[in-house]
Amino acid sequence: MNINSTLFLQAVVFAILVWFSMRHIWPPITKALDERARKIADGLAAADKAKSELAQANQRVEQQLIAARDDAGKRLADAERLAHSIIEEAKQRAGDEAAKIVAAAKAEADQAVVQAREALRAQVAELAVKGAEQILRREVNASVHADLLSRLKTEL
């Protein structure tokens, strides 16, 4: 056997093997590789889409948390304002009520003073009449009159 013919024959067998492999073996392998590459690409795309959706969901959650905090702060401020206004209203009512009570007490005291003055006037008038009566019953004497008037002054 000659090396050249062996080499030539091996080259022909190799060419037939390459042709057979290209015709029958290679297409299913490339098809499987392409399918797998497509699945991997789809998986990566889905992962990217899920990441972006997760980021958007996190943003929405943050916005909702901020809105909830703002709302809670506004409600708290409203509640504080309402409590303050209720307290101020209660203070105003208490002040008005105290003013009414003071005014009523003052009116009562004024009325008591007026009644006391009237009673005192009545007593003074009585005493004056008694004094005049006593003066008129006795004889006219300056020292006796002075004595009676001084007693009258002490009684008043």
CA distance 72 to 78: 10
Q: Using one digit for the tens of pLDDT, what is the confidence trace for 8-33?
A: 889 999 999 999 999 999 999 999 99
What's the pLDDT at 133? 72
The secondary structure of 65-93, three-state, reads HHHHHHHHHHHHHHHHHHHHHHHHHHHHH
The answer on pLDDT for 4 being more than 90 is no
Tell me the mean pLDDT in the region 87-95. 93
